[in-house]
Homo-oligomer: A and B are copies of this chain.
Amino acid sequence: MHDKMNHELNPRISADCVIFGFDLNKLNVLLIERETVVGLDTYRALPGDLIFEDEPLDTAANRVLNELTGLEDIYLEQVGAFGDPDRLSKPQDRAWLKAVRQDPDARVVTIGYYSLVGMNNYVPQPASFARAATWIPIEEIGELAFDHRQILEGALKKLKEKLNVQPIGFNLLPEKFTLSQLHRLYEAILGVELDKRNFRRKMLKMDILESLEERQEGVPHKPSQFYKFNEQKYHDLLKTGFDNFAF
């Protein structure tokens, strides 16, 4: 819209990111702790901040995420807009806003995003106003700042829906993984038990996994086979028409 770049903050619009991670056991979410305002407890929060005036929304989400946690180049999927006029009105949040925002009373509409990352190859690097950035198991997440709890619920709902339509779970796993890990991942996300044999049969029938020579080592039980996701086969499958990814 403007010819010159305008990297001022847009005081009315922010982006918040729900980053899911999987530690091969439980589903986690990346949360930050804000710099403490003296004399007040502070909630954990989703990484998020105001966008720039001339910045596309998803670019902003990525930038903000990077500034607060060090995560880079993540594919973010939009959850939606959250715009309750009272969404910033909890006392702790008001205090924090007064401390850091130019216009702490402004109404801000936020755009929620979510993504999946492998917890292994990423160590949170808090910066900016994030005093800490930590993976928290999803069942242990209590109250969050602002309406972040609501954004989280929305993201989780979208994630579940998506998982029944696209085999996105691989983004949460290391490149090599076992079928049991994938199985646990599906159970963690969907929040239900899935029969082991039926899960394996269906997953393998999709023919988007490649079994590797390698097997687990040093485990005190039968070592399991490693697999990797075959993106090529997946795309071919989509082209030839396939839709039955649900469990």
What is A's interface to B at a CB cutoff of 8 Å?
1-2, 10, 12-13, 53-57, 78, 80-81, 83-86, 88-89, 105, 107, 109, 111, 161, 165
CA distance A84 to B83 in the complex (A): 18
- Determine which residue in A10, A54, A165 has the highest number of CB atoms from chain B within 10 A of its CB, and name it: A10
Q: A109 to nearest B CB, angstroms?
A: 6
Give the secondary structure class of A's interface.
loop
CA distance A109 to B161 in the complex (A): 26
8 other contacts beyond A1-B89, A54-B85, with CB at 8 A cut-off?
Answer: A1-B105, A2-B105, A13-B83, A57-B81, A57-B84, A78-B81, A81-B109, A109-B111
29 pairs across A/B with beta carbons < 8 Å? A1-B85, A1-B86, A1-B88, A1-B89, A1-B105, A1-B107, A2-B105, A10-B12, A10-B107, A12-B13, A13-B13, A13-B83, A13-B109, A53-B85, A53-B107, A54-B85, A55-B85, A56-B83, A56-B84, A57-B84, A78-B80, A78-B81, A80-B80, A80-B81, A81-B81, A81-B111, A83-B111, A109-B111, A161-B165
Give A83's nearest chain B residue, CB to CB: B57
Stoichiometry, copies per complex: 2
CA distance A85 to B52 in the complex (A): 10
User: Chain B contacts of A2 at CB under 8 A?
Assistant: 105
* A109/B57 contact (C-beta < 8 A), A12-B13, A80-B81 known: yes
Q: A7 to nearest B CB, angstroms?
A: 12
CA distance A84 to B51 in the complex (A): 12
CA distance A82 to B185 in the complex (A): 32
